[in-house]
Amino acid sequence: MASLIPGNLHTTAMGILPHDQVEPALRLALSVDIPFWPQLPHLNYYEDMYVQASEHFPGIVLMPEKNTLRFDTNKFYEELPELLDRWSDLDYFDISPAYSAVYHRFLELDLSGYIAIRGQMEGPVSFGLKVLDENDRPIIFNDEVRPLLLDFLARRVQAQLVRLKKKHPRAFMFVDEPGLQFIFSSVSGYTDITAKEDLDRFFAQIDHPRGIHLCGNPDWEFLLNRDLDILSLDTFTNGEILKAYGKHLKRFLERGGVIGWGIVPTWCEAVEEASIEQLIEYQEGLWDVLVQEGVDRDLLLAQSLLTPARCCLVNPDRYQTVALAYTWLQEMSHRLQEKYRLGQD
C-alpha cells in the first residue's frame, strides 16, 4: 500500500521549541524538509500544548499564575450546551491567535515549495491523564467526560488538518501522546483495552494522513497495530527496544505506514558525546537488524523520516544545542540519501 506521507529519509521535527521569540523559532521550523508551526511554552502560558488543546473544552479552568490548568465538573455541565451548539462549525475548533503566536503566522507563508507540511495537537489519552478535576482525579476516568474529550480533540485535529491541507495538499498531523507510555503500568489504572477502544474511536473521526508522536517507551506492538499513517518516536533512547518488533514494523510499513526515526539528540549532555558519524552508524545498525527480521530495506527507507529525538526546554544554552541538532539532522539526511540514492522529492 502506498504511503500518504513523504519518506526517503526527509526531515521533520516535533512541535515544541525552546525559543521565547517567534521569528527565530519559525526560521528553525522552516529549516527541515517538512516544516511545522512551533509551540513556544517559554514565550507565554498559552503556548503550552495542554493549554492549546484545552481551548473551548467545557469545564477547563486556566491557571496562568501556577502554569497549569484544571477541570471543574460543574463548570463542564454549564458550558457543555455552548460547545454542542457550535459542534457543526469546524472552524470553531481550530486554534485561535490567542492560543498560538505562530500558527497563523505559519499559515500566512508560501509553503508550496516544501514536499509536505505538518501540524500537531495534544492527544486525548495524555490530555485526559494530565488534567485533574476538583478531586485531583484525572478526567480520563470520568465516563461522562471522556467520550466527549475523544470526540472534541478529534474535531480539533480535523479542523487543523483541513486548514493545513488548504495550504499544502500533502499536509499531515502529529497527535502528541506522551502519556501512552504510562497506560500499560499498574500506576495509571487506564487499561490497554480501554486505550485501544478510545484511540480507535478518536482516529476514526480524523481524515488521513495522521499519526502519533511520542518520546517515551510504550507498548510498541499496541501502537503499530493502530490505524496510523505515521509513528514518530525517540530512536536515540529506545532504538534497542524496537529491535524486538521487526514483524510488527514490517506489517506497519506494508500497510503504508511511515516511521519517524528520532535519532538526533537535542540535550547538551548527549550532543557533547555524539557525532553525526556515530548517529548514522547507530541508525543503520538498527535498520540492519530489522532487515534481518524480514523488513524490506527499500520499503523501510522509502517510508522513513528522520527527526530530532525529542524536544528539550531545559538546556543551559537555551536553544543553541537544539539548533545544532537541526543542523546535524539535515546533514545526516543528506548523507544517507546520497548513500542510498534516494529521491529528493
Query: Is the per-residue pLDDT at 204 higher than 60?
Result: yes
Q: What is the pLDDT of residue 13?
A: 98
Question: For 344, what's the count of Cα atoms within 13 Å in the CB-facing half-sphere?
Answer: 6
| Cell numbers describing residue 177 | 501522546
> Would residue 252 be called left, alpha or beta, if left means φ above 0 and alpha means ψ between -120 and 50 degrees?
alpha
DSSP 3-state of 181 = helix
Q: What is the pLDDT of residue 184?
A: 64
C-alpha 311/C-alpha 14 separation (Å) is: 7
pLDDT confidence of 190, banded at 50, 70, 90?
A: confident
Q: What is the pLDDT of residue 185?
A: 62
Q: What is the pLDDT of residue 202?
A: 99
Q: What is the pLDDT of residue 160?
A: 99
Closest by Cα among 193, 194, 232 to 213: 232
C-alpha separations of 111 from 30, 33, 114, 157 in Å? 9, 11, 6, 20
Closest by Cα among 60, 58, 59 to 83: 58
The CB density around residue 256, as the number of other CB atoms within 10 Å, is 17
Q: What is the pLDDT of residue 205?
A: 99
C-alpha 51/C-alpha 325 separation (Å) is: 27
Burial state string for 169-190 with b = 16 or more CB within 10 A and e = fewer than 16? ebbbbbbbbbbbbbbbeeebeb
C-alpha 147/C-alpha 22 separation (Å) is: 35
DSSP 3-state of 60 = strand
The CB density around residue 271, as the number of other CB atoms within 10 Å, is 19
Query: Is the per-residue pLDDT at 313 higher than 70?
Result: yes
Q: What is the pLDDT of residue 186?
A: 54
What mean pLDDT comes out for the span 181-204? 83
pLDDT confidence of 315, banded at 50, 70, 90?
A: confident
How much is the mean pLDDT over the chain?
Answer: 95
C-alpha 91/C-alpha 157 separation (Å) is: 11
pLDDT confidence of 19, banded at 50, 70, 90?
A: very high
Question: How much of the chain, in percent, has pLDDT values that exceed 70?
Answer: 98
pLDDT digits (tens, 9 = 90+) for 144-166: 999 999 999 999 999 999 999 99
Please name each of the domains of the chain with its CATH number: 10-340 (3.20.20)
The answer for residues whose C-beta is within 8 angstroms of residue 22's C-beta and 6 or more apart is 40, 43, 101, 102, 105
Q: What is the pLDDT of residue 187?
A: 56
pLDDT digits (tens, 9 = 90+) for 77-120: 999 999 999 999 999 999 999 999 999 999 999 999 999 999 99
The type of residue at 10 is: H
H-type alpha helices, 205-319 = 220-224, 235-242, 246-254, 268-273, 276-292, 297-302
pLDDT confidence of 2, banded at 50, 70, 90?
A: confident
Beta strands in the chain (DSSP E): 10-11, 60-63, 68-71, 117-122, 171-176, 210-213, 230-233, 258-264, 304-308
Does the model's pTM come out above 0.85?
A: yes
Q: What is the pLDDT of residue 188?
A: 62
Q: What is the pLDDT of residue 189?
A: 74
